Amino acid sequence: MLELVDVTKVVGADTHIEGVSMTLSKGSINVLLGPTLSGKTSLMRLIAGLDRPTRGDIRIDGASVVGVPVQKRNVAMVYQQFINYPTLSVYENIASPMRVKGADKATVDREVRKAAELLRLTDHLKKTPLELSGGQQQRTALARAIVKGAGLVLLDEPLANLDYKLREELRAELPKIFAATGAIFVYATTEPTEALLLGGNTATLSLGRVTQFGRTIDVFNRPVDLITAETFSDPPLNTLAVEKRGALFGHAHGLTVPVPADDLGLPDGRYTIGFRPHHLFLDAPGGAAVSLPARVAVTEITGSESFVHVDVADARWVALAHGVRNFDVDDRITVHVDPDRLFVFDAAGRLAAAPRALQAA
């Protein structure tokens, strides 16, 4: 078990990590999710022992490891910027942690070839890293982490340089590999979709603070505040500042949205309503959906999906629609919002109400 207790890191006048407390269990998958400069790498360096916290404690199985150098910890690390030994073959790069431990030749050979097969490196074992593509070099670093058998595995955006197909395959395979060893698996990413695919637990980070930590699906479905909801939404969360008066949320530009029946008990006052892009509909979904006038700002077509950016009153929203939806800039269209899909945040940004259909939120 890994425990972080009020971990804080201050460098000069800057606070890189502030008051982080989490408990990570053996065999667990733990995702650090946040934008660039949110503190993911800084937190990983503290966990690994590369940096020392200014305040707080880090414990493994109840014993403090603050001050214990990384060389004396059973830790495997893989970064987006892969690190390999340039003069060693791919085989020896992968085998190196097992050699250090004194594993016998047969065990080394078996584990190296097993990891190489998984990461599609079998045909490259005799090459040096400089003879490999960037993706192959990253896979070599991943294979070395796999054979090390570490109790703590830290992966800092390790799949960012891989092609789409291999990235998707490894997202499915890596958690199984490390969970089977009983290791604590910590995976940093900027991508909410990646966090959902990996499952396990997720800690959302913003400006060096962990805003929420829990089961990934729970953090996604019930973010404790607006910052967490925005961190766990890509494309960005659609929001609108409103004032609740009785059974309506009203906006300064005259727009109104019915308050969901389950939320009628909320006190009147100022709120922010939010909903994810796949819940801004270009075609009326039926039911109690509200139709709102919008102006198209830009359309991004990926082939299977279209991202339609629209201006509604003083807000810029994004609709995620299936298929090709081709609009011209300044086209006037109607968009549709289902009140039952709304997150409601109070004036302080705390979650006041979550959508009824959580699993589809």
Distance CA 129, CA 126 (A): 10
User: Are 154 and 282 within one domain?
Assistant: no
**pLDDT value, residue 289:** 87
Residue 129 contacts residue 83 (beta carbons within 8 Å): no
Q: Give the per-residue pLDDT at 78.
A: 82
Residues 206 and 271 grouped into a single domain: no
Residues 240 and 200 in one domain: no
Per DSSP, 260 falls in state P
Structural domain contains residue 269: yes
Q: Do residue 295 and residue 203 come from a single domain?
A: no
List pLDDT tens digits, range 81-113.
677 889 999 999 999 989 988 999 999 999 999
Q: Rounded to an integer, what distance in angstroms lies between the CA atom of residue 228 and that of residue 274? A: 12
Residues 206 and 343 in one domain: no
Question: Residue 48 in 3-state DSSP?
Answer: helix
Judgement on whether residues 271 and 134 belong to the same structural domain of the protein: no
| Domain coverage including residue 239 | 235-360
Q: pLDDT, tens digit, for every residue of 185-244?
A: 999 999 999 999 888 999 999 999 999 999 999 999 999 999 999 999 989 999 999 999
Residue 14 lies in a domain: yes
pLDDT for the residue 71: 81
* 244 shares its domain with 342: yes
Residue 337 domain flag:
yes
Per-residue model confidence as pLDDT tens digits over 27-64 = 899 999 999 999 999 999 999 999 999 999 999 999 99
In the block, tokens 């999710």 appear at 33
Cis before 35? omega within 30: no
Q: Do 278 and 189 fall into the same domain? A: no
Mean pLDDT across 123-133: 92
Flag whether 84 is in a domain: yes
What's the number of domains the chain is made of? Answer: 2
Residue 359 banded pLDDT, cuts 50, 70, 90: very low
Please check whether residues 285 and 343 belong to one and the same domain. Answer: yes
Q: What are phi and psi of 224, to 5 degrees?
A: -75, -20
CATH number assigned to the domain comprising residue 169:
3.40.50.300
pLDDT interval class at 23 (50, 70, 90): very high
Quote the CA–CA distance of 183 and 210 in Å, as a whole number.
22
Tens of pLDDT, residues 295-337: 999 999 988 899 999 999 999 999 999 999 989 999 999 999 9
Residue 230 is assigned to a structural domain of this protein: no
* Residue 229 belongs to some domain of the structure: no
CB-based contact 294:333 (threshold 8 Å):
yes
pLDDT of residue 180: 67
pLDDT tens across 272-305, in order? Answer: 999 999 999 998 877 778 999 999 999 999 888 9
Split at pLDDT 50, 70, 90, the class of 360 is very low
Query: Is residue 160 included in any domain, yes or no?
Result: yes
Residues 136-154 have a mean pLDDT of 86
From 204, 224, 244, the end of a domain falls on: 224
- Residue 183 included in any domain: yes
What is the H or E stretch that residue 253 is in? none
My answer on whether 158 and 247 are in the same domain is no
Do 219 and 280 belong to one domain? no
* CATH code of the domain covering residue 257: 2.40.50.140
- The last residue of one of the domains, among 199, 224, 249, is 224
- Among 190, 224, 258, the domain boundary falls at 224
The SS3 of residue 100 is: helix
| Same domain as 303, residue 183 | no
Write the pLDDT tens digit of every residue in 149-184: 788 989 988 887 777 777 877 777 777 766 667 789
Q: Which of 76, 83, 53 is nearest to 65 (CA)?
A: 53
- In this structure, what token pair is assigned to residue 125? 């074992």
Q: State residue 120 phi and psi, 5-degree precision.
A: 60, 50
